[in-house]
Amino acid sequence: MFLKILLIFLLITSANSNDYKRGEKLYNIMCDGDAIEYKTKEELSSKIEDHCKNLNEKNLQAVVFYLTQKKSKLKTIQKPLIPKDARCKICGMFVAKYPKWATTIKEKDGKILYFDGVKDMMKYYFDNREKFNQILVNDYYTLNPIIAQDAIFVIGSNIYGPMGNELIAFKTKKDAKNFLNEHHGKKIVKFDKITKELVYNLDK
């Protein structure tokens, strides 16, 4: 397996965004869902062998490309500074008062929008999604920024944000499961499974 991974590292320089999307889809289908973190090629090889089953060589290449590109993206994410006068686009609250819950949207023109929680951010997202370049949320435990589309969310827990019930973000499914069990959460959901109805039901 390690030799295959090493060869793939030499090949993926010619891969593109379509390979990334294909690798992400294969990873979600054929791997167990927990985040694969690694420091060396040897460790990546071992983790893929443990977490992913029945990958042929072509699919393995796509998964390796997805994981390496995702790791590179995570390294470049900087925690956005929240201006003291920044107000949530939905409720008008001062976002800097709630750094643990703050989320941001970077629009295609470079403008950054601020929200006091994932719930309000998602309300804006559903009406304006074509404008967005990047969406960042905070991992609940580490407070490190995560690309929202890569995060795992817990809903219905006994932990409340500035606006009550929240979608609470985690980098890994393992952390999300632990939080759900400890805080009586009702459901774990990925970004692309969040619906407008689910978001507005949190206000009820």
CA separation for the pair 143, 70 (Å, rounded): 19
Query: Residue 142 is encoded by which pair of tokens?
Result: 């580490």
SS (H, E, C) 41-57: HHHHHHHHHHHECCCCH
> For residue range 72-85, what is the model confidence (pLDDT) as tens digits?
665 557 788 999 99
Confidence at residue 8, expressed as pLDDT on a 0 to 100 scale = 45
> For residue range 154-198, what is the model confidence (pLDDT) as tens digits?
999 999 999 999 999 999 899 999 999 999 999 999 999 999 999
Yes or no: say if 32 and 55 are a contact pair by the CB < 8 Å rule. no
Q: Tell me: pLDDT of 13 over 50.
A: no
CB atoms within 10 A of CB 187: 13
What are the boundaries of each domain within the chain?
2-76, 95-201
Q: Tell me: pLDDT of 11 over 50.
A: no
Confidence at residue 71, expressed as pLDDT on a 0 to 100 scale = 66
Task: For residue 18, give Cα distances in angstroms to 4, 14, 79, 150, 196.
Answer: 21, 11, 27, 17, 28
- pLDDT band of 9, cuts 50, 70, 90: very low
List, in sequence order, every beta strand (DSSP E) within the chain.
103-107, 112-115, 132-138, 145-147, 152-155, 168-170, 187-190
Q: What percent of the chain stands above pLDDT 70?
A: 85
Task: For residue 81, give Cα distances in angstroms to 55, 124, 150, 196.
Answer: 41, 20, 21, 28
Dihedral sign computed on CA atoms, order 161, 187, 172, 89? negative
Which range, of 72-76, 83-87, 113-117, 150-154, averages the lowest pLDDT?
72-76
> For residue range 26-51, what is the model confidence (pLDDT) as tens digits?
888 888 756 667 777 677 777 787 78
Q: Which residue has the higher pLDDT, 70 or 110?
A: 110
